[in-house]
Amino acid sequence: MKLRVLHAVLVVTLSACGSAGETERPSGESLNVVLFVVDDLGWRDAAVLGSDFYRTPAIDDLATSGIRFSRFYAASPVCSPTRASLMTGRHPARVAITNWIGGEQQGMIRQADYLRQLPLAEVTLGEAFAGAGYATGYIGKWHLGAEDDFLPRAQGFGWTRAVNRAGQPGSYSPPYRNPDWPITDVPGLGGDPPEAYLTDRLTDEAIGFLEEHRDRPFMLVLSHYAVHTPLQARDADAAPYQERAGVLGPLEGGPTEDESGRSTTKLRQDHPVYAGMIAAVDRSLSRIVEALDAMNVADHTAIVFVSDNGGLSTLSGVRGDRAPTANRPLRAGKGWLYEGGIRIPLIIRWPGAAAGLGGTVSDVPAMTTDLFPTLLSMAGISLESGLQLDGVDLTPILDARADALPHRDLFWHFPHYHGSGNRPGGAVLSGNLKLVEWFEDGEVELYDLAVDPGERIDLADSLRSETQVLATRLASWRDSVGARMPRPNPEWKP
């Protein structure tokens, strides 16, 4: 029923393809899309992104042939809200998925109510592309609903593999299960030999989808569980980094720093196992690119490489140097509204981009919400105006029709506690000024990212007028999207 309703709101503008439908067409007549999503990959977790510890030749090559966004933001500092935004082009606060599904932590205030599944009424990327006649596939992490009626197959993806019902895998080794936490078991990969590795197996499945659908337009989401915990890598991938870490020596000032008196943040990338997991992701990307080349479809296939939140660098209650990665010079990491928690990698290689743009770095601020309208625009699929989107089309930047977008503010709403030590709050970015508001006490902070990307100098007292203006805009935006707010917690005991 849902797909029949969707067809009524889609307008297909792929003139070379004719009408939308299930018939085969030469794939050269349409743009194929591979959306490559890495879980928890930080803003600096690749050599081309600034790391001097990780080696990522495939990611680096993609950036050389595509466009990299240096100020791209996750719609949330945690996964499920960002993924809801990615699937719909709508802000997590509007969709009412504002926490990672299963995150039930309480504190001085009670977290805001949120949905535990992506509503079927939402129009997803899968439905939009399927409605335009594409073969649609989804592999790996979903975390937008655990019941069958809310898994990718119910959201427009006709072909799915290895989708579990949680936010991480039971294990990266066969049989990819955790007997103490069965919801994390990864299904459908039985019979793998002991030496198999989950990231490689998902890539096998992805290549199988590409080969099966090479003769018609396709849209594939390869959503890796990596580099999320549990931290497990192949010995061969981790070993080189064990040697690299062993010669780093002590870090001046210590391996961590305090974050707001609530947690500690890791300051250096030196975790061999995490690095090995990144190496497997890089190998996966290389294999996908090679498969597209071998099938002679690379020249009409876009590859979009993105993460879902900042790198996990900040932990509460344990030694911060045990965190997997570091986002320095950005502040904090996953779970926080500081830059380390929300600034993420985005690389787009699009055959339709203007010649000579390969290797370009764009500093235009953009957000996960923008990928839905951007991918549809790249593919020539237009939605009628009845669908309210929060994202904007980035193709004017991708094909050199513009080097900037009209000014707009970016907003975040995270009314939840998190194991990183974060407190419930919200944020707004306007140009280079960023305001962070904490819901427990109404405290606000203001930073000028142009001169202080590490958010060390709070300007709220010295720039009171600007602070008040941004605080008012943030409150007004929350009202406009129906953002759900936390409530007093009568059971709280300091």
> Does the pLDDT of residue 11 top 60, yes or no?
no
pLDDT (mean) for 287-306: 97
Each residue's pLDDT tens digit, 416-449: 999 999 999 999 999 999 999 999 999 999 999 9
Q: pLDDT grade, residue 247 (50/70/90)?
A: very high
DSSP code of 83?
A: H
pLDDT (mean) for 72-80: 98
* Rounded-to-integer distance, Cα 145 and Cα 164, Å: 10
> Does the pLDDT of residue 338 top 80, yes or no?
yes
Write out the two tokens for 245: 């870490």
Each residue's pLDDT tens digit, 52-70: 999 999 999 999 999 999 9
Superfamily of domain 28-401: Alkaline Phosphatase, subunit A (3.40.720.10)
> Does the pLDDT of residue 22 top 50, yes or no?
no
CA distances from 52 to 61, 69, 268, 280, 364 (A): 16, 19, 10, 18, 25
* Rounded-to-integer distance, Cα 124 and Cα 130, Å: 10
- Of 228 and 10, more confident: 228
Whole-model pTM: value is 0.94
pLDDT (mean) for 384-393: 88
| Confidence at residue 138, expressed as pLDDT on a 0 to 100 scale | 98
Percent of the chain whose predicted confidence (pLDDT) is above 70: 94
| Confidence at residue 385, expressed as pLDDT on a 0 to 100 scale | 66
| Confidence at residue 12, expressed as pLDDT on a 0 to 100 scale | 35
Q: pLDDT grade, residue 356 (50/70/90)?
A: confident
Q: pLDDT grade, residue 383 (50/70/90)?
A: confident
Each residue's pLDDT tens digit, 147-198: 999 999 999 999 999 999 999 999 999 999 999 999 999 999 989 999 999 9
What are the residue ranges spanned by the domains of the chain?
28-401
Write out the two tokens for 106: 């309480």
Closest CA to 372 of 89, 74, 69: 89
> Does the pLDDT of residue 113 top 50, yes or no?
yes
Q: pLDDT grade, residue 318 (50/70/90)?
A: confident
CA distances from 488 to 19, 200, 469, 471, 491 (A): 54, 46, 26, 21, 9
On whether the CB atoms of residues 391 and 371 are closer than 8 A, the answer is yes
| Confidence at residue 270, expressed as pLDDT on a 0 to 100 scale | 97
Q: pLDDT grade, residue 9 (50/70/90)?
A: very low
**Average pLDDT over all residues of the chain:** 92
* Rounded-to-integer distance, Cα 341 and Cα 330, Å: 9
What is the secondary structure of 209-238 as a DSSP string?
HHHHTTTS-EEEEEE--TTSSS----HHHH
Each residue's pLDDT tens digit, 457-493: 999 999 999 999 999 999 999 999 999 999 999 999 8
| Confidence at residue 357, expressed as pLDDT on a 0 to 100 scale | 84
On whether the CB atoms of residues 309 and 395 are closer than 8 A, the answer is no
The one-letter code for the residue type at 308 is D
Pairing label, strands 109-110, 487-488: antiparallel
Q: pLDDT grade, residue 354 (50/70/90)?
A: confident
| Confidence at residue 402, expressed as pLDDT on a 0 to 100 scale | 80
